[in-house]
Each structure stands twice: as structure tokens, then as C-alpha cells.
Amino acid sequence: MQLAVLGLNHNTAPVGVRETLAVDGSELAEIYSEIMNNDRIYEAMIISTCNRVEYYIVTDDFLCNIESVLEIVSEHCKMDRSELRKYTYIHCGEDSVRHIFRVASGLDSLVMGEPQIFGQVKDSFENCRLYGGAGTFLKKLEEYTIKTTKKVRTYTGIGENPVSVSYAAVELATKIFGSLSDKHALIIGAGEMCELASKHLVTAGIGGITVTNRTFEKAQRLAGEVNGSAIEFDRFKTCLPDSDIIISSTGATDLLVTAADVKETMAHRKRRPMFFIDIAVPRDIDPLINELENVYVYSIDDLKAVVDANRKQREKEAVKAMEYIDAGLEMFYEWLESMKIIPVIKSLRQQFEEKKEEELKRFSSKFKVEDKEELAKIEYLVTAYMNKVLHTPLKNLKNASAVKGRYSLDEALKILFELEDVK
Amino acid sequence: MFFDLSILCAVLALLHVTLFIFMGYQRLAAITNIFAVLGLVFSSAQFITLWQTKHMLPFGSVSGLFLFLAQALMLVYIMMYVKYRRLTLGLFIFPLTVLFVMIARFAGGMPANVNPHAAGFWLYIHLPFTIIGTAFFMVSTIGGIMYFVQERQLKNKNFGIIFRSFPPLDTIDKLINTTLYIGFYTFTIGLLSGLIWMMYAKGMINIFSPKLVFAIITWIIYSGITFYKQIKGMSPKDTALSTIVGFISVLITYVGVAFFVMG
């Protein structure tokens, strides 16, 4: 049995194709049942997010069975198979297990290291159980995927160092102020960038937010969304002394905050640090303010430089993450190897059971034992003896099967029954 | 043997903190702290060994003094790590610890002319408190230097390894404040107990003693910083600068007095 995956993602397919192939929650039951109708596909799972659609199958012959999945997908999205093949990739065996570990850890995401994909992969495993696609293989794969992803996220910085401008701005604020819980932010403008930055600030635990905008209603709306307060645009400078973080993104053609304003503000603040983030083009905040002591001004270009540096850092962290992924892969394949022995163990047990039944029948007819209670006691004794005798070799058989190696018969016997060295 | 083990642990802690900064593996952080704790344990064992050999606390020797200073630095590092979870501090503290334990290792033993009767109760209060206070001042100065370095990174928009590994400015400021206040109170106890000891040992307080004059100047500088901070408030940058100024007076007290005044 091996795992194979047929999929497409943001690297292989344009958004239009991804949209066509995306699997809606309501279609899952039908597609799962179509895939599972194939007798040679034992287990299956579908991951469908905005950036990827992937079909995982557990099968003996991945080449034939991936073709059958491709056929189902092409029928479902009404796209020609040869056309579909242009956008898809196929992995099998170790590569497919490594692939799902990479996907769940965010290494294969559009924004490397983004955390949402982990939740989406977990949901996909849950759906797979719900629609009857999961068996021993995928259940164990889920366990190892979760374990490996948690290690990657805990022990590497793959999720650190934000790679979006608004989040990078908030991260920079924490580099100055540490915790934001006792800090106040002033948001100048109520556009998309301001909205995003305000939401990131709230997530980071900001103490309070004041929003100002030329259209006061818009300021009120954004303030309402982030549990903050709104102030009229012509009065926003009165908030400066109490504001530690100032984020500005307006369409103003002149500077809104000048160095003289901040100089005066700093005297009121006893020179406690202030952080200005100017996302506007043309600029709202006078760049000369950065020359003042304890004041830091970052423009959109500076933030882009932060994002670039962070992206490079995440790429470095990805190398570290691969070490954890390879370790997880090794552990998963150890388990898989140990599973190969299960049918052998089952057949050995069955053979012992059959022999036991045979001998019990012979015993009762030979010694004319008819008392059922007495016969049950004898059966109990034989079963207990059989279990005791089998316990050690079966345990060792299972353990040794995970380790690749060849043994002579006498060596194998010694290992199985834990025999002392015989001279 | 404990001397060598202490040096080895401090060197290994320094090596691991450097690797942690460049490679970022969390395991390296745990290993660094294990070596820091082991370094403290071994230097303490060495201190007890010196104490047992001489049948008195070994503060009378250069070896004992530097060993205790190294111990105090390790202790302050561990305390500050527990409070702020910042490993980068070790990058500055561990080299100092290695240096001080090495000085202690190669300096001679207890001078022959130490009068055990002079080493009364107050001296044993004065010396440890002064040394621990100095260790706190040292760490606050390290914090001050870190503040300036990180502040420059933010101003000049350098997002390299220093920017990533150094703590946020606010955390450095809190660390400076904590070590500054603890250092000041400990140093004050050390100074007062020293005055009392001087009175008992010599029958009078010699206010013209250069050591005392410099120590009082240091105390005045640090008390000025702490009281000004309390009453008027001080910007984090000024606090960082004041720790450096304060520590220069500490250096003058120890190095200046020992080498230039006392000969």
C-alpha cells in the first residue's frame, strides 16, 4: 500500500483553474463516494483551499488509480483530461507523505509559513473520516502530520517575521514597545490598509485605538469594528501626546503631521518613544520626524524592506523545517514497515487458534470429557498458555520489523524468543 | 577542578548563545541555560572549596573577589532570563564571566597578611552586597549598550541579525530599570555596612580614604539617577545613557582606586 497525490496549487495553475477545480463542502460526499467506488483505492482524502486542490489516495497501483481520480475530477469540473494534466502534479510514496507534511507546515503555501493551512488540513482529515475515506493509513498519517507540523511551528521561526506590510508594521511596533497592552494607537484614515493594520493591532492586544478620517462616519465605522473611539479630523492632533503608535494612510497631498508638531508632543510625553507608520503615497508624516530622539518613522518603502528581509528569513527557516519534516517522514515509514508484519501475525494467531480447537476436540473425544465446565477450564488453560508463549515473539516480531535487516533462522529465533546465547 | 569546570561551562554557554543567535534553534537556548546554571553551580562549589581551605570567606583575595563577581553575574543572568526570557543578554555576560573566573583561577590565593579578626560580621555583609550590587550595575550597563545598539538598528532601518535577536526597546528599558534599582539598593546596603565595618575595625570613618570617596561619588551618581527617574521621569534613552555614565564611576572606584591611588 502506498500514498499518492494528484493536485494543483498556486504554482501550477492560474486562479481561474483553481476556482473551477475547488471542491465545495456540498460536493464532498459525492466525490468521496465516486473515488471510493474504485475497489483498488482503499482510502482517500481531499484538500481544497483557495490556493490548492489535492486528492490523496491509498492504493496498490498508484499509476492506474491516479488516472481514475483524474477522470473523476475531469468529469466533475467538465475539463478535458489532457488540459487538466497540464496544471496538475503527482507525487507517490515517500514524496507524497513529505508533500502533505510540507503543505500542513505552510512550506508549500503562497505566503510561506502562513498558519491557516494547518487548520485547513486538519479539517480535510476530519471530512475524510466523515465521508468514509479514512482507514488505518490516513488516520496514522493525520497523527504524524499534526505531530510534525507542531514541531516545525514550535522549533523553527517559519511563522515568525511577518510578510505582509500591515502585519510587519505591527510587528515593528512590538520591537519598540514589547507588549502593546498598555499602548494607544491613532489611526489616520479609514481605508483598507488602515483597517488591516487596526485589526492586526487588536490581535496583538493593543490597549486602545482612536480613528480619525475626513469623513467622520467612516472613522466611526472603523472605530466600531475595532472597539475604539473616533475623533474629528481637525482635532486629531490633540490625541498625539497620548498616542504611542500612529498609523497614517490618507489621500492627503500635504504633510498631516510635521516635525514641529511632534517636537511639541514629545515635551508633553516626557520623551517616551513614538512610532509613526506612514503607508500613504504621497507621505502624510514628515520624514524629518525620524531625526527627533525617541521617535521612529517608517514609510511604505521601509516596510517593504522589512517584508523582504522577513521573507528571506522565512526561507532560511524553511531549511530547518525540512529537517523536522524528514524526521517525521522517517518515523511514519517505521510505523508503515511495522504494519507489514500485521497480516503475518494475524495468520500465525489464526493457525494457533485452529490447532487449539482441533486438539481440544480430540482431547474431549479421547478422554470422554463431557462436562462443559471442565472443558471450559481446560480451554482457559490452553488459551492462557498459548498467549503467554506467543506474547514475546510477537512483540519482538513487531519491533524488529521496523528495522531493516536480514537474519539467519537461528538468529531470528534468538531475537524472537529472547534466548540467551547458546554455546 | 571546579575553576576549570566553571570556565568550561561559561565558554560553552557563550558558544551556544552565539549559535542560537545565528541559527535560531530553540534547543540551543535550553542548552545555553543549562551551561549557565552549571557554571553557577561549579563556581559556587569552587567558592566553598576556597572557604573551607582558608577557614574564612575568601573575599580577602583577588581570587575570591573575582570568583564571587563571576557568580553574581551568572546569578543576575539567570534571574533576568527567568523574568524577561531574553537569551541575548548572555552574549555580553558570558565573556565577562569567563574573564573573571580566569582572573580568579590565575590570581594568587589569600594574602598572608590578612587579619582574620578584622574580617568581622559587617565586612561579610559589606563585600557580598557591594559585589552583587556591582554585578547588577554591570548588567544594567549591558542593557544600556543593548538599548543604544537596538535603537540605532530601528533608526537606521537595519533589519539584520542584531535587530532580530535583540529584545524590543521596551523590554531592554524594563531590564535596565530592574537591574538599576536592585543594584542601587544592594550597593547602598554594601556601602553602609562598609562604613560600619570601618568604624569597628579602625575606630573611625576615614572620609579621606580614596576608596570611600569614589564609592560615595558612585552612590551619589546612582542615587541621582534613581531619584530623578522616580520624581521627574526619564526617557528610556536617557536611562540607558545614565547607566553607562554610572558604570564609569564604578570602574573608577574599583580600577582607578586599586591601580592609581593605592599604587
Give the model confidence (pLDDT) of A169-179 as tens digits. 888 999 999 99
Task: Check if the beta carbon of residue B120 is closer than 8 Å to that of residue B200.
Answer: yes
Burial environment of residue A403 by CB neighbours within 10 A (0 to 12, 13 to 18, 19 or more): exposed
Tell me what percent of chain B is helix, strand and coil, each rounded to the nearest 5: 85, 0, 15
Whole-angstrom Cα distance, residue B159 to residue B146? 15
At B199, the pLDDT band (50, 70, 90 cuts) reads: confident
The minimum CA-CA distance between A286 and chain B, rounded to whole Å, is 15
Query: Taking CA atoms, what residue in A is nearest to B163?
Result: A175
Report the distance separating Cα A369 and Cα A363, nearest Å. 8
Q: How far is B179 from chain A (nearest CA, A)?
A: 18
Can you give the pLDDT at residue B2? 85
pLDDT per residue as tens digits for the range A152-198: 998 888 888 888 888 888 889 999 999 999 999 999 999 988 998 99
As a dihedral over the C-alpha atoms of residue A126, residue A109, residue A48, residue A8, rounded to 10 degrees, the angle is -130
- Residue A403: per-residue pLDDT: 64
Do A178 and B167 make contact, defined as CB atoms within 8 angstroms?
yes
Measured between CB atoms, does B235 come within 8 Å of chain A? yes
Q: Name every chain A residue with its beta carbon within 8 A of the beta carbon of B159.
A: 305-306, 309-310
Place of cell 496498490: A60
pLDDT given for residue A402 in this prediction = 60
C-alpha dist (Å) from residue A309 to A105, A114, A169, A200, B128: 21, 16, 13, 20, 47
The stretch A317-331 carries a mean pLDDT of 93
Length of chain A: 423
Look over chain B and give the mean of its residue pLDDT values, rounded to a whole number. 88
Is A201 a residue whose pLDDT tops 80?
A: yes
Binary contact (A298, B174; C-beta < 8 A): no
CB-based contact B238 A271, cutoff 8 Å: yes
Residue B263 pLDDT: 44
Contact: B237, A271; criterion CB under 8 Å: yes
A293 φψ region: left (φ > 0), alpha (ψ -120 to 50), beta (else): beta
Give the Cα separation of A48 and A29 in Å (integer). 14
Q: What integer pLDDT is reported at residue A166 of this predicted model?
A: 84
- Is residue A112 within 8 Å of residue A160, measured between CB atoms? no
Q: Indicate the average pLDDT of chain A.
A: 90
Which residues in chain A are closer than 8 Å to B169, comparing Cβ atoms? 175-178, 273
Q: What is the ipTM of this complex?
A: 0.82
The answer to which of A115-124, B13-22, B52-61 has the lowest mean pLDDT is B52-61
- Report which DSSP code applies to A108: T
Residue A371's contacts (CB-CB under 8 Å, 6 or more residues apart) are none
Residue B118 has pLDDT above 60, yes or no: no
Tell which residue, A209, A212, A200, A202, has the closest CA to residue A228: A209
Q: Which of B26, B159, B241 to mutate to test the interface with A (most CBs of A within 10 A)?
A: B159
Q: Nine-digit cell at A66?
A: 491516479
Q: How long is chain B? A: 263
Q: How many Cβ pairs closer than 8 A exist between chain A and B?
A: 61
Enter the DSSP assignment of A240.
G
Read off the pLDDT of each residue in A74-78 and give the average, rounded to a whole number. 88
CB contact under 8 A, B157 and A302: yes
Locus of grid cell 524594563: B174
**How close B253 comes to chain A (CA, Å)?**
32
Is A92 among the residues known to form the active site?
Answer: no
- Mean per-residue pLDDT, A211-224: 95
Tell me if A44 sits within 8 A of A55, measured CB to CB.
yes
Q: Tell whether B39 lies on the interface with A, counting CB pairs under 8 A.
A: no
What residues in A contact B235, CB-CB < 8 Å? 270-273, 293-294
Chain B interface mutation, best of A152, A165, A175, A272, highest count of B Cβ atoms under 10 Å? A175
Confidence class of residue B184 from pLDDT cuts 50, 70 and 90?
very high
Q: Which of B26, B157, B163 sits opposite A155 (nearest CB)?
A: B26
Nearest to B168 among A161, A177, A310 (CB): A177
Look at strands A208-213 and A184-188 and give their pairing: parallel
